[in-house]
Amino acid sequence: MAIAAANSRRIAGACGPLSITVTTDDPALAHIASAYFDLYSRRWTAMSRHVEVHLVRAGVAALECGNYLRCGRMQVDRRGAHYLAVTRCSFVALGTCNDGRGDRWIVAVPPQTVFHEPEIGEMEDIFSLICTIAWRAEGWTAVHAGAVMKGQTCALLCAPSGGGKSTLTAALVASGWQTLGDDKLLLRIREGSPFLASVLQTFNLDPGTSRWFDVGDIEGLPRYSAWTQKRRVHVDRIGNGLAAESARPTHLICLVRSSGVNGMRVSKLDDAAVLPALLRQIVIPSDREAARSILQTAISCARTMQGLQLEIGDDAYARSGWLDAIEDAIA
Amino acid sequence: MQSLNVRASSIVMRSTLVATVVEDGAVLLDLESKYFYALNESAWAIAQLFENESVSVEAILDCCRRWGAQAPDEIAVREFLNQMSACGLLEECAPAPRVPFIEFKGEWRVPVITRQREPLQTIVTSAFDPSVPLAE
């Protein structure tokens, strides 16, 4: 890790159990890092791992094969404690992840890079990688799902990107449910049973959802990422005080958009379908150690959850009684 | 995929597979294809025989008999091995000098392997998002 110059910028943040320090002397890189790590607004009381990230302008040639992870715009290799990520725009991230001393990353961005949406997206991909590797080292599995809770019930909301997780989460919060988040959660096994924790207190809502819930001037809010029109909306804006910190998941709900359904329709999911549904919300690297740990967590979790399928018709939220179908099925 | 001639072969599980034991068997994930498989208890006991080292099919059948398999079950065991082979989960190789000892305490049943209908994504949107990347 290079030592930061006297005029460098230092950004200190937290992502769940991680404390993160980003240093750079490049204003554009500092701005992107700051915007990304600001997303993680839920402050944990105990942070167990430190991650240092140094961002530099430098051209670095690197050959990668994607033996750890293959993303749409990034390939990642792993050799022991060392990681190498290369993006399409030739951003190169080198990381050393050591259980005893935390993680150290250096991210090199070619000097001529001008940041438009693809370039910002690739920086976000690198930051996501840095966080997920560190979370995993702390025993947490990152789950791309929403979670809502009421009483002793906590339901994981599963769907691919654009599948309606955020809208349903927001709709339930507007109806008095609590939430742990709408698309980024951390999962682990604690005292023999699955345990979910929140890292974000913002929704990523499509401006179109304002026709169903009062979220004020959603168009004027900051965009969630370079790749989407979705806006970052704080949970309190929809349901004040309904952001929850942790829960034991009891249900898994697979969301399916279905224009042939009037309103919403809930059906029971076969027990054997719960694990595949959960695994589809988790990135599993091609790395035996990481994959085994994720599988164990997912299997333990899937076995304790009841599975449901929720078909969501067009304009379902505009129909009265849509909530009853869900609450009746879960209660 | 071609079926292995298990009658004549010694086999070993491919190194791309990760196994996780569950109370009634195991789940195998192929890190290359991202398919995953559920094995019942008997199937997992058999698979452990060649999880790390090669073993001959005859040695596998001997173990199955010791675990309670009857003569007609031999066909089912061979079918199970053929199924694993057809899914690309096995490699043919020279037999290891000894057969590992696997204790099987469960009740012997016909070995069953079930492949998940759809594989998980091999290329994902990001380290956090397992969705299919958007077309550009």
**Residue-wise pLDDT tens digits, B51-85:** 998 999 999 999 999 999 999 999 999 999 999 99
Question: Which pLDDT value is given to residue A154?
Answer: 97
Domain CATH for A241: 3.40.50
A21 & A161 share domain: no
Whole-angstrom Cα distance, residue B133 to residue B118? 17
- Residue B123 maps to a domain: no
Domain termination site, one of A72, A106, A138: A138
CB contacts, 8 Å: B133 with chain A: 71-73
Domain CATH for B21: 3.90.930.60
Domain extent for A165: 142-330
CB contacts, 8 Å: A287 with chain B: 31
3-state DSSP call for residue A151?
A: coil
A202 & A284 share domain: yes
> Could you report how far apart the first and last alpha carbons of chain B are, in Å?
32
Question: Which pLDDT value is given to residue B4?
Answer: 53
| CA of A261 vs chain B CAs: smallest distance (Å) | 24
- Residue B127 maps to a domain: no
User: What residues in chain B have per-residue pLDDT under 50?
Assistant: 1-3
Question: Which pLDDT value is given to residue B96?
Answer: 74
- Residue B17 maps to a domain: yes
Mean pLDDT by 10 residues, chain A (331 residues): 54 93 96 92 87 96 90 96 96 90 94 94 96 95 97 95 91 94 95 95 87 81 75 88 95 94 92 94 94 95 96 88 87 69
Written as one string, the DSSP assignment of chain B is -PPP-TTT-EEEE-TTEEEEEETTEEEEEETTT--EEEEEHHHHHHHHHTSSS-EEHHHHHHHHHHTT--TTHHHHHHHHHHHHHHTT-EEEEPPPSSPPP----S------EEE-SSPPPSSBSSSS--SPPPP-
Contact A144 B116 (CB under 8 A): no
Number of domains in chain B: 1
A146 & A115 share domain: no
A231 & A133 share domain: no
Domain termination site, one of A88, A111, A138: A138
Domain termination site, one of A117, A138, A159: A138
- Residue A4 maps to a domain: no
- Residue A2 maps to a domain: no
Question: Which pLDDT value is given to residue B2?
Answer: 44
Identify the CA nearest to A36 among candidates A110, A117, A124: A124
A171 & A104 share domain: no
Whole-angstrom Cα distance, residue A205 to residue A191? 34
- Residue B4 maps to a domain: no
Q: Which of B36, B118, B125 minimises the CB distance to A161? A: B125
A159 & A226 share domain: yes
**Residue-wise pLDDT tens digits, A61-102:** 888 789 999 999 999 999 999 999 999 999 999 999 986 779
Best residue in B13, B16, B18, B136 to probe A by mutation, most A CBs within 10 Å?
B18
- Residue B130 maps to a domain: no
- Residue A40 maps to a domain: yes
User: What is the reported pTM?
Assistant: 0.91
Question: Which pLDDT value is given to residue A204?
Answer: 86
Write out the residues of chain A at the interface with chain B, using a CB-CB cutoff of 8 A.
69-74, 76, 124-125, 128-129, 131-133, 142, 144, 160-162, 184, 227, 272, 275-276, 279-284, 286-288, 291-292, 295-296, 299, 303
Question: Which pLDDT value is given to residue A4?
Answer: 39
Domain extent for B20: 10-115
- Residue A3 maps to a domain: no
A211 & A183 share domain: yes
Torsion B73-B74-B77-B78 (CA) sign: negative
Q: Does the interface ipTM go beyond 0.85?
A: yes
A157 & A68 share domain: no
Number of domains in chain A: 2
